[in-house]
Structure 1
Amino acid sequence: MNIKKISAFQLFCLMYLFELGSAIVVGLGLQAKQDAWLAILLGMVGGICLFQIYHFLYLQFPDQPLTSYITKILGKFIGTPLALIYCFYFLYIAGRVLRDFGDLLITSALDETPLIMINALMVLLITYGLSRGIEVIGRTSETVFFLMLLFGFIGITFTNFSGIVKLVNLAPLFESGWKTLSSTVLKQTYTFPFGEMIAFTMILPHLNNQLNGRKIGIFALLASGITLSITVALEIAVLGAKGVAFSQFPLLDMIGQVNIGDFIQRLDIIVVATLIIGVFIKITVFFYAGYLGLTSIFHITKKKQKAIFLLILGTLILISSIKMSSNFAEHLKVGLKWVPIYLHLPLQTGVPLLLFLITWLRKSLRKNKLKAHEMES
């Protein structure tokens, strides 16, 4: 894989589509009932604060990904095992997103198709894309970004014109209480999808102008957060809080109710296309992050070795997506109950915060020593 640069707009498209990913389809923050849209906005604020930490570390090591500078900050004895944990974390989450994708396609359109065939085709497509380099992925994200905007516009317009939106379903505000709302933010919307921006600590070194990194990240988080919040608010307005809570794929059920003059209906294809675009980008970023970290740790430099390694990792992601749970209900339970606490919070917040504090203290001490030396001289 050639190490190339991507533009500011390409990075924004990658971030925006990555954040939407499968989150726009699977129901987000529904524990907060009709306040789910607010839980998303609060999670977005937390994600923006977290991104400031990622960006600070990036500026200290602008040419290195997380798995490289983590060993410089913590030392090889602690840093190398932790870097490996991050690599497998990225690959594991890629497998989880792939499972979301396969199950939705089976539910919505391909009910007679084996899950492994659907997931295998997606993995092959992503593996081929990564073999062409990050620059190609960046250009691809530009193209599909405008398609995603078009699908979103069509979906929102037809939903509103069909007369199925009932704003009364969004009331009363704060009915779930602050305790439930804050728990939903911490365990769900903060970590998924906004905390998953940790994957871009592996992508930021590819940015052609490092000064643009901060504003691109914040703008992408704002844009994706508002998009997700509006989507969930529409789902609740159409299906009701209880209807959304009992739905595996609320967006699919909402679009399924669109009917304008018995002519415009069955718009499920919009949801499926939206999922394919978002999932493709999300798995690609996680896959690339894990791949880049492992090739760096194990010093895999030859082109042929990289290609073989890419196929091996793609196969592992495919197998993990099938074997990680026996059914989709179990998959969702693990993803909502255990993954945020035992994986997301420590790796998205705990470790980066520790790296930030150590780096900031070292930087402050160096400045103080330099000032003291200048005063003595």
Structure 2
Amino acid sequence: MSKLTPKLSDLVVTFVLFEVGSTTLFLLGGKAKQDAWLVMLIGAIFGFMLVLLYLWIHRLDRSRDLFELLFYYLETLPGRIIGGLYVCYFLYEASRNLRDLGELTVLTLLNRTPIAFVMLVAIVVISNTVRYGAEVLMQTCTALFPITVAGYALLLSLIAAAGMIHMENMLPILENGWKPVWDNAFPEVVSFPFGQTVLFLVLFKITEHSSGFSKAIIWAYSIVSFVLILLNQISILVLGPELASNFTLPLLETVQLIRFPQILERMDALFALILYLGLGIKIAAFFIASVTGLHRITTIKYKLLIIPAAAVIYASSFLSPRYVEYVWAGLNLTVVWISPVFQIILPLMLLTVMLLRKEKRSQTSQSTGAERPNRI
């Protein structure tokens, strides 16, 4: 892996692009109709609490990443077992994003190209990035960040300029009360995308630290959460709550409606481009985390694990033959039953053990100090 030390700004940019990632592909909280923005807001608030949890864990021991923390505080065998489960989780999440990338490519640009070939090319390219480690990925994100920001800003400006936004689609607020809002927010929206920041417990360690480390992450999370709420609600404001909730990729449908005759007529290509960047970054981040975990568990050299991990990611992306089934499994099984274990339960368990061991060491130190005789 690279020996470069990323700046805090590189980590913040990577954090933002990772959070955006594939999130804009889907309508989150769609079952709550026009109240999807409230679903996202509640999800972001719970996600903020998870970010504080991860920062707390990191602050207690900045010298170790997630896997090293598991090995050290939960003992070797339990730590390796849980670490292995995290590796499987990261590999699976990478495979889901790879499938999203393949489906998006076939749908928007290469409709005559087999999806298997598209995803094969993608995983080969991403594997080359992973070969250089997280440090290079972070610096790449810094270079790509202006393109992503400019792309989304342009799309939002064109949607507004085309007169496609209808604010009345947000009304009535809470037509069916809070229950559908809460039911959609937890655990679905908390798990995806906000809880996926658990991955950064692997990346925090390698970044330059300063007094403003936690503050920078918190500000980045707050800003990107606001942007995601806005982008999620745009589909409802343009298409209406009923229509938006019935589309598999509603924001793509929204972008395809942008028409400025003889000037701009294919903005879906721009949307696909910035989505490729987000998906590629997210796949690479999960990929790097999984290979790092395998390296910690097996002590096999990092680069030797890239090809086997890539093969598992590629094969796992075909778990469901149809994309609709794949989306359903992700939004109804993964984020409800699997993700909360890795994003909430296990980090809370790790934090508890770390605090108990810290308290035990403190008491032992005080006891030893009290028993030591005074020297004259």
TM range (shorter): over 0.9
- In structure 2, the residue matched to 1:225 is 225
Q: Residues 283, 210 of structure 1: CA spacing in aligned structure 2 closer, same or farther, 3 A cutoff?
A: farther
1:332 equivalent in alignment to 2:342: no
Kindly indicate whether the alpha-carbon contact (under 8 Å) linking 1:62 and 1:210 is maintained by their aligned counterparts in 2: no
Alignment of 1:297-316 (within 5 A): 297-301=297-301, 306-316=302-312
1:134 equivalent in alignment to 2:129: no
Amino acid corresponding to residue 310 of structure 2 in structure 1: G
Range moving further from structure 2, 190-199 or 134-143: 134-143
1:320 equivalent in alignment to 2:316: yes
Shift of 1:74: 1.5
Kindly indicate whether the alpha-carbon contact (under 8 Å) linking 1:65 and 1:201 is maintained by their aligned counterparts in 2: yes
Amino acid corresponding to residue 197 of structure 2 in structure 1: M
Alignment of 1:1-377 (within 5 A): 1-209=1-209, 211-260=211-260, 263-301=263-301, 306-321=302-317, 323-371=318-366
Distance 2:116 2:84 in 1: 27
Distance 1:176 1:142 in 2: 43
Q: Residues 17, 110 of structure 1: CA spacing in aligned structure 2 closer, same or farther, 3 A cutoff?
A: same
Range moving further from structure 2, 175-184 or 109-118: 175-184
Amino acid corresponding to residue 319 of structure 2 in structure 1: M
Shift of 1:135: 2.4
Kindly indicate whether the alpha-carbon contact (under 8 Å) linking 1:90 and 1:287 is maintained by their aligned counterparts in 2: yes
Q: Deviations over 1:278-321 (max 9, x none)?
A: 001101110000000101111123xxxx3332112112111111
Distance 1:244 1:75 in 2: 49
Distance 1:85 1:133 in 2: 21
Kindly indicate whether the alpha-carbon contact (under 8 Å) linking 1:86 and 1:347 is maintained by their aligned counterparts in 2: yes
Distance 1:120 1:165 in 2: 38
Count of residue pairs brought into register by the alignment = 372
Amino acid corresponding to residue 315 of structure 1 in structure 2: A
Kindly indicate whether the alpha-carbon contact (under 8 Å) linking 1:235 and 1:244 is maintained by their aligned counterparts in 2: yes
Distance 1:365 1:177 in 2: 48
SS at match of 1:9: helix
Q: Deviations over 1:211-254 (max 9, x none)?
A: 44322321222122111111112111100011111111111111
TM normalised by structure 1 equals 0.94
Distance 1:276 1:338 in 2: 25
Amino acid corresponding to residue 289 of structure 1 in structure 2: A
Post-superposition, which runs of at least 4 consecutive aligned residues in structure 1 deviate over 4 A?
368-377
Shift of 1:365: 3.8
Amino acid corresponding to residue 181 of structure 1 in structure 2: V
* Structure 1 stretches lacking a partner, 5+ long: none
Amino acid corresponding to residue 23 of structure 2 in structure 1: A
Shift of 1:187: 2.5
Range moving further from structure 2, 23-32 or 146-155: 23-32
Distance 1:121 1:210 in 2: 39
Q: Deviations over 1:334-357 (max 9, x none)?
A: 001110122101111001011112
Distance 2:121 2:91 in 1: 17
Q: Deviations over 1:113-152 (max 9, x none)?
A: 1111111121111111121232221121011111011001
Q: Residues 367, 326 of structure 1: CA spacing in aligned structure 2 closer, same or farther, 3 A cutoff?
A: same
Kindly indicate whether the alpha-carbon contact (under 8 Å) linking 1:35 and 1:170 is maintained by their aligned counterparts in 2: yes
Q: Residues 242, 312 of structure 1: CA spacing in aligned structure 2 closer, same or farther, 3 A cutoff?
A: same
Distance 2:206 2:147 in 1: 24
TM normalised by structure 2 equals 0.94
